[in-house]
């Protein structure tokens, strides 16, 4: 039959979500999408087995027909070769009609039925289809498997051949139109059965869908058949009248086919572009979701925005940096790296979008944030691609993405600042009281779980009120900052120094017993004692602190008891003359050793 489908393996289970009347047409279009001649594909293993079985069936049936149905007509190799070549050429003219496509091979098939021994017609049709497929294989437009599928494509020729044989092989001028109609009907039935079984078993395409696709093709075949009968009865094989009747008609159909093919190719390319654009939009939406998922993680946010920009612009490589965080994506030649550096330097210096080119590689960059005082900035995002410069619209889109990225980075910085202010005392840079309480509770739980020591040092600046009264609160703030720095320098990385309140400081010391905590307190006290806090007048203040030490180990206890013990020891130190460290009452069990 003239319909030669090369459909996709998809089961076509998806349907359009809106009007029910459109669902079937949409599925038909998906079926035809893989049948375009310029969309040839390799067969899967299952399809290959089905096509091989169909080809073997055809060869057996064709051989049996030739042996069992001898003909009174003489077989002329020249006439057979001319008809096979004509059929192959006609099969190159593909007309897309309705939901399917057809080839005007009916104009050659009918003369075959009246000019050749009828039993040889199916084999002649198969040879013509193989010849047409071979042309595509040689030109590299189709895989070699195309030849395997071309053989069972000729199964439809058995239908009209059997009808003409049953009618006694009449001449074209003597055949009745009833026989012609019956032959066309047999042709359609044979094609429907053969194609339905092949598509259903090999590719899973339902029979109802197959019928919808090729119904319009049968109408075209029926319309061309009377013309072909008249041509066949015009004279003998290769008669001038027959050639004059067929060639111009094939020329008109070929011109229409080329025009429609060009339009379909254009629409198909546009659909491909829209599909690619939709895929990119979906990818962008996914990356926006990733941005939400990444929360306020600067490197993750940088990577999400960078990949979104690359996806939107079709870039091969990109890089982004902000606040010391750097990310890169993609690959490419060294020219891409040079183009990115050039665009980044220009954008950083100009404080706006900039482009650069390195041979056939093009790059665009945009700063993240606003440079202060017109100075250059290293915080920027840049992407590069090969072979195509960035249009004005693409640069505008890239600038929009960079602006949104800048806002996101500002939000990250704001979040980090708020988070820091929620945990850090602004004046001293130590942990604030809230963070101190959270850390003490956490370390207390850890101490009980792992049977470790936990110590606490409470520190108070001696005579701090007189400093404020004598030199003012600004000088008092300076003293607090210097004492906090001394405490921070004298403690370990695992310790938690904090401003407990006013001029009182505290240090949480994990894995430290009472003696170890006392030594740490003495180290802090001596460090503060060596301080010389500068004054605007030029002289310096000397400052001392008093410290109280407490420790517990591996026993149920309220953290407040540890604070109370250390606080009581602190007041003992102050009553004892200040500038000293005092141990509190140790609470650990005697059997416990560090």
Confidence at 486, pLDDT banded by 50, 70, 90: very high
Compute the Cα dihedral for 333, 338, 341, 343 and give only its sign: negative
For residue 291, tell me if it sits in a domain. Answer: no
| Alpha carbon 307 to chain centroid, angstroms | 10
**pTM of the predicted model over 0.85:** no
For residue 288, tell me if it sits in a domain. Answer: no
Beta-strand (E) ranges in 4-134?
A: 95-97, 100-102
**Section 134-158 average pLDDT:** 84
Q: Are residues 363 and 391 in the same domain?
A: yes
For residue 292, tell me if it sits in a domain. Answer: no
Q: Is 416 a catalytic residue?
A: no
- CA dist 341 and 382 (Å) reads 9
**Three-class HEC string of 142-198:** CCCHHHHHHCHHHHHHHHHHHHHHHCCCCCCCCCCHHHHHHHHHHHHHHHHHHHHHH
Q: Higher-confidence residue: 316 or 25?
A: 316
What is the per-residue DSSP string for 276-296?
HHHHHHHHHHHHHHHHHHHTT
Confidence at 243, pLDDT banded by 50, 70, 90: low
Q: Are residues 258 and 373 in the same domain?
A: no
Using the 3D structure, point to which of 389, 419, 449 is the last residue of a domain.
419
Q: Give percent of the chain above pLDDT 90.
A: 25
**Section 504-529 average pLDDT:** 94
Q: Give the pLDDT score at 271.
A: 67
* Count of structural domains within the chain: 3
pLDDT digits (tens, 9 = 90+) for 30-80: 444 444 444 456 777 878 888 889 889 999 999 999 898 888 888 888 888
Q: Are residues 117 and 261 in the same domain?
A: yes
Range of the domain at 335: 297-419
In the predicted structure, residue 93 carries a pLDDT above the cut 90: no
For residue 283, tell me if it sits in a domain. Answer: no
8 A C-beta contact, residue 75 and residue 120: yes
8 A C-beta contact, residue 553 and residue 563: no
Q: Give the pLDDT score at 556.
A: 64
pLDDT digits (tens, 9 = 90+) for 377-419: 678 889 999 888 998 888 888 888 888 777 777 777 777 777 7
Point out the least confidently predicted range of 74-78, 173-177, 371-375: 371-375
Q: Are residues 450 and 414 in the same domain?
A: no
In the predicted structure, residue 233 carries a pLDDT above the cut 90: no
Q: Are residues 574 and 455 in the same domain?
A: yes
Confidence at 475, pLDDT banded by 50, 70, 90: very high
Using the 3D structure, point to which of 390, 419, 448 is the last residue of a domain.
419
Considering 22-26, 209-213, 569-573, the range whose residues carry the highest mean pLDDT is 569-573
In the predicted structure, residue 306 carries a pLDDT above the cut 60: yes
For residue 8, tell me if it sits in a domain. Answer: no
Residue 341: give its domain's CATH number. Answer: 3.30.450.40
Q: Are residues 133 and 30 in the same domain?
A: yes
Q: Are residues 230 and 120 in the same domain?
A: yes
Q: Are residues 392 and 502 in the same domain?
A: no
**Section 212-219 average pLDDT:** 64
**Section 421-433 average pLDDT:** 88
Q: Give the pLDDT score at 16.
A: 36
Q: Give the pLDDT score at 95.
A: 66
Q: Are residues 465 and 404 in the same domain?
A: no
Q: Give me the catalytic one of 503, 504, 522, 529.
A: 503
8 A C-beta contact, residue 380 and residue 320: yes
Q: Are residues 496 and 529 in the same domain?
A: yes
Residue 507: give its domain's CATH number. Answer: 3.30.70.270
pLDDT digits (tens, 9 = 90+) for 249-280: 666 566 655 555 566 566 667 767 777 766 66
Q: Give the pLDDT score at 330.
A: 83
* Sheet (strand 380-386) strand order: 325-330, 317-322, 380-386, 361-367, 354-358
For residue 312, tell me if it sits in a domain. Answer: yes
For residue 405, tell me if it sits in a domain. Answer: yes
Q: Give the pLDDT score at 24.
A: 39
**Section 412-434 average pLDDT:** 83
Using the 3D structure, point to which of 419, 442, 457 is the last residue of a domain.
419
Name 327's bridge partners. 320
Q: Are residues 407 and 455 in the same domain?
A: no
Confidence at 13, pLDDT banded by 50, 70, 90: very low
For residue 552, tell me if it sits in a domain. Answer: yes
- What is the separation, in whole angstroms, between the first and last Cα of the chain? 92
Q: Are residues 458 and 384 in the same domain?
A: no
């Amino acid at each position: 039959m003239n319909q030669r489908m090369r459909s996709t393996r998809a089961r076509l289970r998806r349907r359009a979500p809106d009007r029910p009347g459109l669902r079937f047409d949409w599925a038909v279009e998906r079926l035809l999408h893989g049948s375009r001649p310029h969309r040839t594909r390799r067969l899967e293993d299952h399809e290959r087995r089905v096509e091989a079985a169909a080809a073997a069936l055809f060869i057996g049936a064709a051989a049996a027909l030739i042996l069992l149905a001898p003909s009174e007509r003489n077989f002329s190799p020249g006439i057979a070769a001319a008809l096979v070549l004509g059929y192959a050429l006609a099969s190159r003219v593909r007309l897309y009609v309705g939901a399917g496509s057809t080839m005007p091979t009916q104009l050659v098939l009918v003369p075959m039925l009246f000019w050749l021994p009828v039993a040889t017609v199916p084999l002649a049709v198969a040879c013509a289809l193989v010849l047409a497929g071979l042309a595509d294989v040689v030109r590299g437009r189709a895989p070699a498997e195309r030849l395997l599928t071309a053989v069972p494509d000729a199964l439809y020729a058995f239908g009209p051949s059997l009808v003409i044989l049953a009618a006694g092989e009449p001449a074209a001028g003597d055949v009745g139109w009833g026989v012609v109609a019956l032959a066309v009907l047999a042709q359609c039935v044979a094609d429907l059965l053969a194609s339905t079984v092949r598509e259903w078993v090999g590719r899973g395409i339902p029979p109802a869908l197959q019928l919808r696709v090729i119904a319009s093709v049968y109408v075209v075949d029926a319309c061309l058949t009377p013309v072909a009968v008249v041509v066949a009865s015009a004279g003998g094989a290769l008669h001038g009248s027959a050639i004059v009747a067929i060639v111009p008609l094939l020329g008109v159909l070929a011109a229409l086919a080329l025009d429609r093919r060009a339009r379909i190719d254009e629409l198909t390319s546009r659909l491909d572009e829209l599909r690619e654009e939709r895929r990119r939009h979906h990818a962008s939406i996914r990356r926006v979701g990733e941005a939400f998922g990444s929360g306020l993680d600067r490197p993750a946010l940088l990577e999400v925005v960078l990949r979104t920009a690359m996806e939107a612009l079709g870039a091969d490589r990109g890089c982004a940096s902000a606040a010391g965080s750097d990310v890169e994506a993609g690959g490419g030649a060294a020219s891409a790296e040079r183009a990115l550096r050039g665009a980044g330097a220009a954008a950083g210096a100009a404080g706006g979008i900039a482009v650069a080119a390195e041979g056939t590689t093009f790059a665009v960059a945009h700063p993240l944030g606003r440079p202060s005082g017109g100075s250059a900035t290293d915080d920027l995002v840049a992407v590069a691609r090969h072979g195509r410069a960035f249009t004005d619209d693409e640069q505008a889109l890239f600038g929009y993405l960079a602006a949104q990225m800048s806002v996101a980075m500002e939000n990250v910085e704001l979040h980090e600042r708020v988070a820091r202010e929620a945990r850090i005392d602004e004046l001293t840079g130590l942990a604030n009281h809230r963070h101190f309480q959270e850390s003490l509770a956490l370390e207390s739980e850890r101490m009980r779980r792992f049977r470790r020591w936990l110590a606490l040092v409470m520190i108070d600046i001696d005579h701090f009120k007189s400093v404020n009264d004598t030199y003012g609160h600004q000088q008092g703030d300076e003293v607090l900052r210097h004492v906090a720095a001394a405490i921070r320098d004298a403690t370990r990385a695992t310790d938690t120094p904090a401003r407990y309140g006013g001029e009182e400081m505290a240090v949480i010391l994990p894995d430290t017993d009472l003696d170890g905590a006392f030594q740490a307190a003495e180290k802090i006290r001596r460090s503060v004692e060596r301080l010389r806090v500068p004054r605007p007048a030029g002289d310096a203040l000397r400052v001392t602190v008093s410290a109280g030490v407490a420790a517990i180990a591996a026993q149920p206890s309220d953290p407040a008891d540890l604070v109370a013990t250390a606080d009581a020891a602190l007041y003992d130190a102050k009553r004892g003359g200040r500038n000293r460290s005092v141990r509190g009452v140790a609470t650990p069990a005697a059997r416990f050793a560090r």
